[in-house]
Amino acid sequence: METVKVQDVAVDDLPWTIEYHSERCTLCGSCLASCTFGAIKPVVRRQSVTVSEGNQPKPAHRQIARTIIEQVASFANACRGCGMCERVCPNHAIRPVRNPDNRRTLLSRDSGPIKRGGRTNLNAQRTLDKIIVGRISQMTDPSLDAQRHTFDMRAPLGRVLSARELPFSMTDGHITMTHKAPPVRWIYPLIFSDMSIGALSTRAWEAVAMATAYLNERCNIPIRMSSGEGGMPVKLLESEHLKYFIIQIASGHFGWNRIVKALPRMKVDPAAILIKIGQGAKPGDGGLLQAEKVAPHVQAIRGVPKATLSSPPNHQGLYSIEESVQKMHLSLNAAFGFRVPVAIKCAASSTSVSVYNNLLRDPYKICGGLFLDGIQGGTGAANEVSLDHTGHPIVSKIRDCYLAAVRQGLQGQIPLYGGGGIGLTGNAAADAFKMICLGANGVFCGKILIQLLGCVGNEHGRCNSCNTGKCPTGICTQDPRLVKRLDVDRGAQKIVDYVLAFDSEMKKLMAPIGNSSLPVGRSDALVSTDKAIADKLGIQYVC
Amino acid sequence: MMCRIGAIKSKNPVQPSMALRLMLPQQEGHDNSGFAMVMQDLYGVFGLYKDKPLLSMACTQQGGHLVEEYMDAHRFVKMSEWLPVPDKRKGLNIQTMPYYIFRTYDYPEYVTDPDEREALLLDTRLALRQMLTETGQGYIYSFWPDVLTLKEVGDPMDIATYFHLWDDNGCLVAKNIIVQSRQNTNYEIIRYAAHPFFLQGYTLCANGENTFYTKNKEFQSSLFRGYIGFESDSQTFLYTLHYVLHELKWPIPYYKHVITPLPFSEIEHREDKDVLLSIRQSLAHLEINGPNTIIAGLPDGRMMTCCDSKKLRPVVVGGDENTVAIASEVCGINEILPDRDTSKDIYPDEREIVVIDNDLEVKRWKQ
Ligand code: SF4
Ligand code: SF4
């Protein structure tokens, strides 16, 4: 008889358990090869079997030693529910099953705080689904036809001056510009947001980049992609395609050596520079790239040795918003000859409105956009406590910022982009449209892009192992064998198809409210079935 | 809001009955819930006071007293007054106010500068409006030299009877009249919601729906102190007109670039793309959407019209050497100017702005 050892980790302590049917299993080993986490192992067990092999029934009872698949009872090798084993098993003999009685949060802190990637698993509430586009043109005015009419779906990125500040002069009934105004790009209202090479495999990053180029050059959709912290391949920096990219600079300044060196050889300007102050998924937690993922090419692009790379939670030397404006904005603006908008990305926070107000009032007028990232954003690696317990929902924050600008008559001067949970349920167009009606100029999204590439992570604790270097889909890892799992071309195609559908769906939403350009701030087009949400956002409550 | 709008600009002063005849055939397009007109360049009883600000109001007795006290206190000097003698016959569909007062004043002696005078007239109107609104004692429609506004709720034909507008009695005569018969679908019937709207010499009425009303309104609210009320989604057109022409002092064609900017794909190929893009981005919140026609009068007496960027609402301009009319439907113009050369009628397209200057020359600008 075995002794009960309650302190040992058992399979039923783990968040996922394996459902295995040995009678269907042919021991092909596919599942073992597919599982990147070492969560299953082959073991030999004694089994009693009864067989009857002759022409007449003649059951015989035997004890045999037999190889079966078993789950590893350890948190380091815990099954992540990624389902790769299920995908590859030709006989439907194995699959992961969620274990609601697991004790993960209690037992897996043996070596410090729990680290993982992915997204929040606690705060996945969906405000946007309680909002409906409720003001439909009926009788009073004709709605438009999504197929027939043309739609002007463009969003500004760059510092917009008030009409009185425009450098205009009048000659013979014509306005001319006396000098240049700050650069403003009119781009697609959906931005592929910052996922670095390093966090992503080079191939996954390439897939997103390919989709970006294709959408621009073949589909007339001027979508922009942010590089993420960690630089860009020099080839791309020196190519014509650079104009589709927003280069990010974060607190670690990774990759900027190369970028600065490439400056004289850039053929075109990048779309924008994005200063990342914080990230919605883990505000206050700096960037984190665990040594497992710092492969040689990542070392090259970032200019670092193989080690865990942490970006500090703050830009060193930035003690105030004013200073940030002066130092970073000015120097980055100057670096690109004031031809490239410089925007800023912050984690949404109770203080976002003050930040926005400060930027709006900045006398230099050089902040070209505020990207606010909500708690439902994604990350490659973070402390779970940050992921689940810090951050701020994005919907009301965008609204608050917009209304703060409205009160001062400054709406539209610093474009607002909202992200963090856009497309959480797969319906990015509806989410984007509602955010825009509430005051965003556009939205940015990252997680849905990698989900389109094949990522199986979700808000309910599935996978979220992006920090481990063992990404089962080859997206978030630098392991060359795993990266092979990702078909770059098909992945890029998926993203393109999704954006084309997004584009049609946006039109399907603009047409019935009778708008041919983006309804920024058209809160009158929205209603909510939730009184508290309606009150908070200042839209009509309906039931 | 569906309604029918029109305007007459004539070398010879005309009486309101002509404006009524312009609107009558278009009756099917409105529900007879109200009538409003702004007359400018006045002859008749106000012909002698063209340079004196004229107050147009409808009020109770107490409202009248309040206004008199206010004007006295602010040293405005009463010059002349015209009180319509109403036809109170039974059965007229009209919601009357006790008094309709049209009165000219001389400026207080302490303001002589033209800009200060403009500002004073606006501030006075806003103050009177606030006072009458708070006390519930009446409505102020305009306070400006050589401009008269008459508005009432009811059947336009009955309103005309009530004010003896059919009589052609020579009291109210003007070279420019902008007029509206209303169809009120969206709002309770509020007198201030009836176009034409007026601000510092700019008069505007619109036929249609502005689906960007909320964003226009939110933006305009902090642009200029006179941008108030917002009882109708079409007020925003007037405020934008005033902002572009009066505040920014941009030439008229740029009004069209502000309210219905060219698509980005077209701007891209224009020589003046920097200017057009700057306008589009700086005044993004003044863009309008939805089906619309606009007819406006400018302080110098010129009139203009344009429609939405998809031409979802029509408008037509027609006339002879003495009179030009603008209307939602051509049948109205046929009624008052049957002998004009109809081949010269203009149906402005979605990219056009049409201006009629004071010698009735018609200018068309393509956006
Ligand atoms: S679900 Fe994923 S982690 Fe779990 S056993 Fe299968 S392959 Fe391994
Ligand atoms: S599949 Fe890869 S990218 Fe997706 S959650 Fe898992 S580890 Fe992260």
Interchain CB distance below 8 Å, A516 and B281: no
Mean pLDDT of B128-135: 96
To the question of domain A11-52+60-112 being in CATH 1.10.1330, the answer is no
Give the pair of three-digit tokens for residue A338: 């004031």
Give the closest ligand to the alpha carbon of residue A472.
2
Instruction: Specify the pTM.
Output: 0.93
Domain ranges of chain A: 11-52+60-112, 130-541
Among A144, A412, A522, whose Cβ lies nearest the Cβ of B284?
Answer: A412
* Integer Cα distance of A471 and A477 in angstroms: 5
Can you tell me which atom of ligand 2 is nearest the CA of A451?
A: 4
Give the closest ligand to the alpha carbon of residue A462.
2
Produce one character per residue of B20-45: b if its CB has 16 or more CB atoms within 10 Å, e if not.
Answer: bebbbbbbebbebbbbbbbbbbbbbb
* Integer Cα distance of A267 and A275 in angstroms: 22
Give pLDDT, residue B329: 87
A489-498, B102-111, B208-217: least confidently modelled range: B208-217
3-state secondary structure of B298: coil
Interchain CB distance below 8 Å, A524 and B214: yes
Q: How many CA atoms within 13 Å lie on the side-chain side of A369? A: 35
Per-residue pLDDT tens for B22-74? 988 887 655 667 889 999 999 999 999 999 999 999 999 999 999 999 999 99
Confidence of residue B213 (pLDDT cuts 50, 70, 90): very high
Closest residue to atom 8 of ligand 2, CA basis: A466
Which of A141, A171, A399 best probes binding to B when mutated, by most B CB atoms within 10 angstroms? A141
The CATH number assigned to the domain with range A130-541 reads 3.20.20.70
Closest residue to atom 8 of ligand 1, CA basis: A35
Q: Count the neighbouring beta carbons within 10 Å of the beta carbon of residue A202.
A: 18
Mean pLDDT of B268-294: 94
For residue A75, the CA-to-ligand 1 centroid distance in Å is 13
Contact A461, A174 (CB under 8 A): no
Strands A60-71, A40-51: pairing kind: antiparallel
> How many Cβ contacts (< 8 angstroms) between chains A and B?
121
Per-residue pLDDT tens for B323-367? 999 998 899 999 999 999 999 999 998 899 999 999 999 999 999
B264 in contact with A at a CB cutoff of 8 Å?
Answer: yes
Q: What are phi and psi of A190, to 5 degrees?
A: -120, 125
What CATH number should be reported for the domain holding residue B43? Answer: 3.60.20.10
Contacts by A25-29 with C-beta closer than 8 Å and gap 24+? Answer: A25/A68, A25/A69, A25/A91, A25/A93, A25/A94, A26/A90, A26/A91, A26/A93, A27/A67, A28/A89, A28/A90, A28/A91
DSSP state of B339: T
For residue A18, the CA-to-ligand 1 centroid distance in Å is 8
Nearest CA in chain B to A516: B289
Specify the amino acid at residue B7: A
Give pLDDT, residue B189: 67
Contacts by A32-36 with C-beta closer than 8 Å and gap 24+? Answer: A32/A69, A33/A88, A34/A84, A34/A85, A34/A87, A34/A88, A34/A472, A35/A79, A35/A84, A35/A85, A35/A472, A36/A82, A36/A84, A36/A470, A36/A471, A36/A472, A36/A477, A36/A482
Q: Which residues of chain A have pLDDT under 70?
A: 139-143, 312-326
Interchain CB distance below 8 Å, B290 and A524: no
If residue A202 lies in a helix (H) or strand (E), which one and from where to where?
Answer: helix A202-218
Residue B292 to chain A, least CA–CA distance (Å)? 9
* Integer Cα distance of B103 and B230 in angstroms: 26
Interchain CB distance below 8 Å, B282 and A170: no
Q: Which residue has the tokens 């969906």?
A: A126
Can you tell me which atom of ligand 1 is nearest the CA of A40?
A: 5
* DSSP-H helix ranges across A275-409: 296-302, 321-324, 330-335, 352-361, 384-389, 395-408
- Domain count within chain B: 1
A428: left (phi over 0), alpha (psi -120 to 50) or beta: alpha
Range of the domain at B150: 3-366
* Axis-axis angle for helices B61-73, B114-135 (nearest 10): 150
Residue B4 has pLDDT above 90, yes or no: no
B291 in contact with A at a CB cutoff of 8 Å?
Answer: yes
- Neighbouring-strand partners of residue B6: B179, B327
Give the pair of three-digit tokens for residue A233: 């391949």
Q: What are phi and psi of A400, to 5 degrees?
A: -60, -45
Q: Count the neighbouring beta carbons within 10 Å of the beta carbon of residue A139.
A: 7
Per-residue pLDDT tens for B318-327? 999 999 999 9
For residue A427, the CA-to-ligand 1 centroid distance in Å is 28
Give the pair of three-digit tokens for residue B249: 């002092």
B250 in contact with A at a CB cutoff of 8 Å?
Answer: yes
Among B208, B214, B281, whose Cβ lies nearest the Cβ of A522?
Answer: B214
Contact B50, B42 (CB under 8 A): yes
Give the pair of three-digit tokens for residue A471: 């990404």
Give the closest ligand to the alpha carbon of residue A83.
1
Give the closest ligand to the alpha carbon of residue A39.
1
Confidence of residue B186 (pLDDT cuts 50, 70, 90): very low
3-state secondary structure of B90: coil
Closest residue to atom 2 of ligand 2, CA basis: A471
Q: How many CA atoms within 13 Å lie on the side-chain side of B47? A: 11
- Neighbouring-strand partners of residue A95: A19
Chain B residues lying within 8 Å of A407, measured CB to CB: 222
DSSP state of A197: B
Tell whether omega for the bond before B196 is within 30 degrees of 0, i.e. cis: yes
Nearest CA in chain A to B259: A517
Among A140, A150, A521, whose Cβ lies nearest the Cβ of B209?
Answer: A140
Give the pair of three-digit tokens for residue A364: 């230099």
* Integer Cα distance of A423 and A493 in angstroms: 18
3-state secondary structure of A78: coil
Contact A327, A314 (CB under 8 A): no
Interchain CB distance below 8 Å, B289 and A149: no
Q: What are phi and psi of A445, to 5 degrees?
A: -145, 150
Residue B210 to chain A, least CA–CA distance (Å)? 9
Interchain CB distance below 8 Å, A163 and B312: no
* ipTM at complex level: 0.90
Question: Which of B3, B13, B367 has the alpha carbon at shortest distance from B168?
Answer: B13
Which of B186, B187, B209, B215 best probes binding to A when mutated, by most A CB atoms within 10 angstroms? B215
Can you tell me which atom of ligand 1 is nearest the CA of A18?
A: 5
Q: How far is CA A496 from CA A112, A318, A431, A499, in A?
A: 41, 39, 18, 5
Nearest CA in chain B to A405: B219
Confidence of residue B185 (pLDDT cuts 50, 70, 90): very low
- Neighbouring-strand partners of residue B361: none
For residue B122, the CA-to-ligand 2 centroid distance in Å is 64
> Sign (positive/negative) of CA torsion B96, B99, B104, B107?
negative
Question: Which of B80, B130, B75 has the alpha carbon at shortest distance from B139?
Answer: B130
Task: Label each residue of A474-531 as H, E or C.
Answer: CCCCCCHHHHCCCCHHHHHHHHHHHHHHHHHHHHHHHCCCCCCECCCCCHHHEEECCH
Q: Kindly state if the Cβ of A18 falls inside 6 Å of ligand 1.
A: yes
Give pLDDT, residue B1: 44
Pocket test for ligand 2, best of A449, A458, A463, A486 (most atoms within 8 A of CB): A463
